[in-house]
Amino acid sequence: MQQTWQDLEMAQPRVVPFLIASLKKDRLSHAYLFNGPAGSGKSAMAIYMAKRFLCRQATGVDPCQVCKDCMRIDHGNHPDLHKMTVDKQTIKKEQVTALQKEFSYRGMESQKKVYIIHDVDKMTASAINSLLKFLEEPTQGTLAILLTENREAVLSTLLSRTQQINFLAPSHENMVAQWMKAGVEERHAHFLAALTGNTALIKEVTDGDWSFQARGVVLQLMKEVYLKRDHAFLTLSDKWLPLLKERFQQQLGLEMIFLWLKDFLYMKIGKEKGLVYVDQLQVFAQIARSTSTQQISRGVEHVMEAKRHLNANVPIQLVMERLLFKIQEG
Q: Which residues bind Zn ion (CB under 5 A)?
A: 55, 57, 63-64, 67, 70
Nearer to Zn ion, 67 or 86 (CB): 67
Nearer to Zn ion, 116 or 120 (CB): 116
Nearer to Zn ion, 110 or 220 (CB): 110
- 145 within 8 A of 47, measured Cβ to Cβ: no
Of the candidates 70, 80, 164, 79, the one whose C-alpha atom is nearest the C-alpha of residue 114 is 80
In whole angstroms, the minimum distance from the beta carbon of 59 to Zn ion comes to: 10
* Exposure class string for 126-162: b at 16+ Cβ within 10 A, else e: ebbebbbebbeeeeebbbbbbbbbeeeebbeebeebb
In whole angstroms, the minimum distance from the beta carbon of 15 to Zn ion comes to: 22
Nearer to Zn ion, 67 or 227 (CB): 67
Of the candidates 222, 220, 199, 202, the one whose C-alpha atom is nearest the C-alpha of residue 210 is 202
Nearest-10 Cα torsion for 176, 179, 180, 186: -60
Distance CA 130, CA 105 (A): 17
- Distances in Å between the Cα of 246 and the Cα atoms of 243, 249, 256, 272, 316 are 9, 5, 15, 33, 10
In whole angstroms, the minimum distance from the beta carbon of 110 to Zn ion comes to: 11
Q: What is the DSSP string of 189-247?
A: HHHHHHHHS-GGGHHHHHGGGHHHHHHHHHHHHHHHHHH-HHHHHHHIIIIIHHH--SH
Nearer to Zn ion, 70 or 256 (CB): 70
In whole angstroms, the minimum distance from the beta carbon of 18 to Zn ion comes to: 23
Nearer to Zn ion, 47 or 84 (CB): 47
In whole angstroms, the minimum distance from the beta carbon of 57 to Zn ion comes to: 5
The three-class DSSP label of residue 141 is coil
Nearer to Zn ion, 116 or 192 (CB): 116
- Is beta strand 163-166 parallel, antiparallel or unpaired with respect to 81-84? unpaired
Nearer to Zn ion, 50 or 177 (CB): 50
In whole angstroms, the minimum distance from the beta carbon of 70 to Zn ion comes to: 3
- 232 within 8 A of 214, measured Cβ to Cβ: no
In whole angstroms, the minimum distance from the beta carbon of 1 to Zn ion comes to: 17
Distance CA 193, CA 263 (A): 15
Sheet order of strands, 31-35 included: 81-84, 113-117, 142-148, 31-35, 163-166
Which residues pair with residue 165 across a beta bridge?
Answer: 34
In whole angstroms, the minimum distance from the beta carbon of 4 to Zn ion comes to: 13
